[in-house]
Amino acid sequence: MDYAASILSRLPGAASRGDHGLRQLLSELRAYLPSDQLQQIINAYRFGARAHEGQKRRSGEAYISHPVAVARILADMRMDAQAIAAAILHDVVEDTPTALQDLENEFGAEVAALVDGVSKLDQMHFTNRAEAQAESFRKMMLAMIGDIRVILVKLADRLHNMRTLDAMPREKQSRIARETLEIYAPIANRLGINRLKIDLEDLGFRYLHPYRYRVIERTLRRSKGNQRQIVRTISSRFEQALTDNDIEGAVIGREKHLYSIYKKMLQKKRPLNDIVDVYGFRIVVNDVNACYRVLGIVHGLYKPMPGRFKDYVAIPRLNGYQSLHTTLFGPKGLPLEVQIRTTQMDRVAESGVAAHWQYKADDQTTGTPQRRAREWLSRLVEIQQQGSSEEFLENVKVDLFPDKIYVFTPQGDILPMPKGATAVDFAYAVHTDIGNHCVAAKIDRNLVPLRTQLENSQTVEIITASNAKPNPNWVTFVSTAKARAAIRQYMKQMRSSESRDLGKRLLDRSLKDLDSSLRKVGKRRMREALDELGIETSENLFEQLGLGERLAPLTARFLLGLQVENQEEAPAASLTIAGTEGLVVTYGKCCYPIPGDDIMGYLSSGRGIVIHRNNCGNLSNFRKHPEKWITVSWEKDLEREFSTQIRVGTINRTGVLAEVAANIADAGSNIEQVAVADRHEDSSDLTFVILVKDRIHLAKIMRSVRNMQNVLRVSRDCA
């Protein structure tokens, strides 16, 4: 009787529980774990089997068969005892009455933390399913940041669930498959675990697009016989060439997996037969020097395709993957895709971070999957601090699909970036502060706009200014999760700061109208009022006032203990506009107010104050809420420019638009936007959104345009 069998004989009821994988699991673990650690696995099995007693999977099997199968997937990756134990116990907290503390008491804090990281948040209440899934994913990813084994257990759990998805209804199969392809397979790829990635992709493809899967599978099966002969012939030629050059190595004919064929069909818009007839080979040798020698040998056997060589040995992929890739013209012009790598690179290519399971080891070598995984996880720490769970999930999805390019810093350091990344993405990749204060960029020593997309091998330099701030428009063109999250977070902070300043000004002005002030109200009365209103701090109150969620005149009377029976009786607040209030004071796009116009402010909940001209046609919509009106006036000698809109009627003649635009520019204004508002047989109405300092500046521009030969009329638009 072997060791595994002797253990099974001492596990009463193992067979009756329907677990047929335990014997294989123990046999696999025995190959690399010492006996004392095997005992921990046995204890975990006993605990899990007892907790899941009587539970069945949808397929009818005893539930314990699932966690044991998950543990076997991890055993195949040579994971440590704690991870194997956590795999066996990963569902006991979620699906049984067992408490997390019970696991900690029985198996220690490390195993309990792994189980907790994998568990869903079923005990919490969410407004919708999407939020629950996003929060669950966020929790799992944050646990992974603490211990990367969390995600390995989760990936193994997902893989076994995908292998047994037949038992689920079609709708659920489709949803789970999509989630697998969008999140879990990319995570496996990001961590360099190729074997998991391939299985997850093929299974996800099978259940998301069953018909397409069957068509490709049938085609592959039909062509397999002919393919085998071609692969054998070419493999023999490669092996003979290695022998002739005294190089030890193995040649493996690679089988293409279905999802990679499907993706190539989509990306290259090529028919199935063209993709199937591409043959793949992997040549594994002992050292890096031999890799480059073999590259020369295969190029001597078959002609290489121009532009199809990739050196991932000198510059590894983001997930630590290293290999030489080349495509050759094979017999009868058949494309041959060849990968050349060392034994260690091959192990890393298949197992990624799981190639070594000492996750807490101080291996700081730049190219290791552990180091690269840690760098990615450190970026996730920054991203998760900014925004909601659903935003975090979307940001991580963006980060999981990096089609890579490599650019250089001015110091010569290589920085991997996703394809489509801009100079702003680069700035945030260097450091968040660099991104927040960038004002310009140089690519290969030439000044370029910040929205410029980067290309391979460029040297990028970022120019910063201490007083610079992120532009909200950057969000529309950045492509990395870190940049997008950082910009949004900065905007939220800036908006909060500006709304607090504005709210304090509004409240103080309203108190002055009542012959009081914030200083006279005092801290004690302010604290009492905040408690009555259910607000934590005065800063929160100022922010609500600035965002229009609370009215300053009513709040002022409340602070002073004055009653207002009718909101319309409350005196209107007043405010002087400097044009530098930022995001919490905006200017109506319906009437484009500028200094010199008679204006009023309207408190819009969540947006702050919106400024309108007194003759704006939309003001009739606000008459029902006079308590939200604010008397506003312009400060004198404003330095900034404001947007406004003019309508120009012109004779239809070639070049008239350019003439009007040139005239506006000569009058000292920048054009932000131009459109043809109305076109007739002989004339056209053009609308220009231009930047002006005040009404005097605008009048000068309109007079200049009106005097043009082909201009019929000029007016200032107002809704």
* 393 C-beta neighbours (distance < 10 Å), count: 20
Position 254 pLDDT exceeds 90: no
What's the mean pLDDT in 335-356?
A: 79
Position 285 pLDDT exceeds 90: yes
Crossing angle of the two packed helices 109-118 and 149-163, in degrees rounded to 10: 50
Position 276 pLDDT exceeds 70: no
Domain 642-716 sits in CATH at: 3.30.70.260
- pLDDT at site 704: 92
- pLDDT at site 356: 46
What's the mean pLDDT in 260-285?
A: 80
Q: For residues 12 and 244, give the distance between their C-alpha atoms in angstroms, rounded to a whole number.
A: 59
Q: Are 372 and 320 in contact (CB under 8 A)?
A: yes
User: Which regions of the chain carry the CATH code 3.30.70.260?
Assistant: 642-716
CATH says 3-163 is which class? mainly alpha
Q: How would DSSP label each residue in 161-203?
A: HHHTGGGS-HHHHHHHHHHIIIIIHHHHHHTT-HHHHHHHHHH
Into which CATH architecture does domain 402-478 fall? Roll (3.10)
Tokens 């970022």 belong to 462
Element (H, E) at 258: helix 258-268
Q: For residues 185 and 179, give the distance between their C-alpha atoms in angstroms, rounded to a whole number.
A: 9
| Greater model confidence, 314 or 204 | 204
pTM of the predicted model, to two decimals?
A: 0.56
Please give the span between the terminal C-alpha atoms of the chain, in angstroms, as a whole number. 91
Q: What are the tens digits of pLDDT across the range 63-76?
A: 999 999 999 999 98
Given the residues 94, 179, 182, 627, the one annotated as active site: 94
Q: What are the tens digits of pLDDT across the range 395-444?
A: 565 555 556 677 888 887 777 787 788 999 999 989 889 999 998 999 88
* DSSP summary character for residue 355: G
Q: What are the tens digits of pLDDT across the range 603-615?
A: 776 667 788 888 8
Short-list 208, 521, 539, 190, CA closest to 373: 190
Give yes or no: 94 in active site.
yes
Q: For residues 98 and 119, give the distance between their C-alpha atoms in angstroms, rounded to a whole number.
A: 12
Q: For residues 119 and 131, give the distance between their C-alpha atoms in angstroms, rounded to a whole number.
A: 16
Q: Are 63 and 52 in contact (CB under 8 A)?
A: yes
Short-list 620, 602, 622, CA closest to 611: 602
Where does the pLDDT of residue 284 fall: very low under 50, low under 70, confident under 90, or very high at 90 and above? very high
DSSP-derived 3-state class of residue 711: strand
CB contact set of 217 (below 8 Å; sequence gap of 6+): 258
CA distances from 48 to 14, 74, 116, 691 (A): 12, 17, 15, 70
Where does the pLDDT of residue 532 fall: very low under 50, low under 70, confident under 90, or very high at 90 and above? confident
User: Which regions of the chain carry the CATH code 3.10.20.30?
Assistant: 402-478
Write the burial class of residue 132 (CB in 10 Å: 0-12 exposed, 13-18 middle, 19+ buried).
middle
Position 575 pLDDT exceeds 90: no
| 639 residue type, one letter | E
Position 21 pLDDT exceeds 90: no
Q: Are 508 and 450 in contact (CB under 8 A)?
A: no
- pLDDT at site 239: 93
Short-list 48, 139, 138, 33, CA closest to 86: 48
Q: For residues 404 and 418, give the distance between their C-alpha atoms in angstroms, rounded to a whole number.
A: 5
Length of the chain: 719
DSSP-derived 3-state class of residue 462: strand
Where does the pLDDT of residue 199 fall: very low under 50, low under 70, confident under 90, or very high at 90 and above? very high
- pLDDT at site 357: 45
Tokens 């914030």 belong to 518
Q: For residues 467 and 447, give the distance between their C-alpha atoms in angstroms, rounded to a whole number.
A: 20
Where does the pLDDT of residue 673 fall: very low under 50, low under 70, confident under 90, or very high at 90 and above? confident
Tokens 């180091």 belong to 371
User: Which regions of the chain carry the CATH code 1.10.3210.10?
Assistant: 3-163
What's the mean pLDDT in 446-463?
A: 87
What's the mean pLDDT in 632-654?
A: 86
What's the mean pLDDT in 547-567?
A: 70
Tokens 């001597």 belong to 300
Task: State the average pLDDT for the chain.
Answer: 80
Percent of the chain with pLDDT over 90: 23
Position 228 pLDDT exceeds 80: no
Given the residues 95, 106, 239, 513, the one annotated as active site: 95
* 546 C-beta neighbours (distance < 10 Å), count: 29
Domain 218-355 sits in CATH at: 3.30.460.10
DSSP-derived 3-state class of residue 95: helix
Q: For residues 19 and 588, give the distance between their C-alpha atoms in angstroms, rounded to a whole number.
A: 69
Structure tokens at 353: 């971070």
